[in-house]
Amino acid sequence: MGTQAEPRKLLSRERVLRTAIKLADESGLGAVTMRRLAEELGAEAMSLYYHVSNKDDVFDGMAELIGQEINEAAAGVSTHDGGWKAAVRQRILTAREVLLLHPWMPSLLSIRNTASASIIAHHDAIVGLMHDGGLSYDLIHHGLHALGSRALGFAQELFDPGKGPVSDETISAMAAGLPNIAAMLAEVAHDDPASTLGWCDDQTEFEFGLDLILDGLHHRSSATS
């Protein structure tokens, strides 16, 4: 009997948050406004406030859900028998894979530094792996600080010293004021543009830094015990 209009799916906190994540995935965190979010849901902005207390609550909810995604992904990966270092490494790289699907997460976490339950749980798992490996809680504590955002799979890069191929002109132009960086760029010449998580945050570079820290922790653990 004719068009029965759209089914008008009900709103819910879950649906709001999922839509917010989809919106951020597609158009960036800046596109997540209450009005745009409502539009995406076929509702009005103020209607969201019945399910969500305010925008920060939306942000926190998004982080919580991504944290769950990380934990689920990690649950599906067998705990290696290669020692705590391999296990922690694995967990963190798994987290990173999830974050690569949601590149806005780093920004979100820097805006809202409240700890969501699922992200704390992720850290709890890391602490557990380290402790099982024989590290003291004191060392683990220092280690968590040393890892910082790396525990979640990303590193804050301050700028992008070599996005794309560095032209020779660029190098000679900066050679005057920045002799050392110029020399480095001339020699290193980033060639793998397979980056993405924000800013020049290569998988290779990420793993290098991660291993540097894990090795350091391992060394300090062996030396002490």
Instruction: List residues near DNA by CB under 7 A.
Output: 10-11, 32-36, 38, 43-47, 49-51, 54-56
**Does 78 participate in binding its own copies (rule CB under 8 A)?**
no
CB 96 within 8 A of CB 153: yes
CB 64 within 8 A of CB 105: no
**Does 145 participate in binding its own copies (rule CB under 8 A)?**
yes
**What are the CA-CA distances from residue 125 to residues 60, 110, 134, 135 (Å)?**
21, 22, 14, 14
Instruction: Tell which one of 179, 193, 196, 224 touches its own copies (CB under 8 A).
Output: 179
The total of other beta-carbon atoms located within 10 Å of residue 202's CB is 17
Instruction: Tell which one of 137, 165, 170, 224 touches its own copies (CB under 8 A).
Output: 137
The mark string for 188-217 relative to its own copies (x by CB under 8 A, - otherwise) is x---------xxxxx--xx-xx--xx-xxx
Instruction: Tell which one of 93, 144, 171, 203 touches its own copies (CB under 8 A).
Output: 144
24 binds, among DNA, its own copies, none (CB under 5 to 8 A by kind): none
CB 155 within 8 A of CB 209: yes
Following DSSP, what letter does each residue of 171-221 receive, concatenated? HHHHTTT-HHHHHHHHHH--------SSSS--HHHHHHHHHHHHHHHHHHH
3-state secondary structure of 150: helix
Residues 88-117 that bind its own copies (CB under 8 A): 106-107, 109-110, 113-115, 117
| Radius of gyration in angstroms for the set of CA atoms belonging to the chain, rounded to a whole number | 22
Residues of the shown chain interacting with its own copies in the complex, contacts defined by CB under 8 A:
106-107, 109-110, 113-115, 117, 119-121, 123-125, 127-128, 131, 137-138, 140-142, 144-146, 148-149, 151-152, 155-161, 177-181, 183-184, 187-188, 198-202, 205-206, 208-209, 212-213, 215-217, 219-220
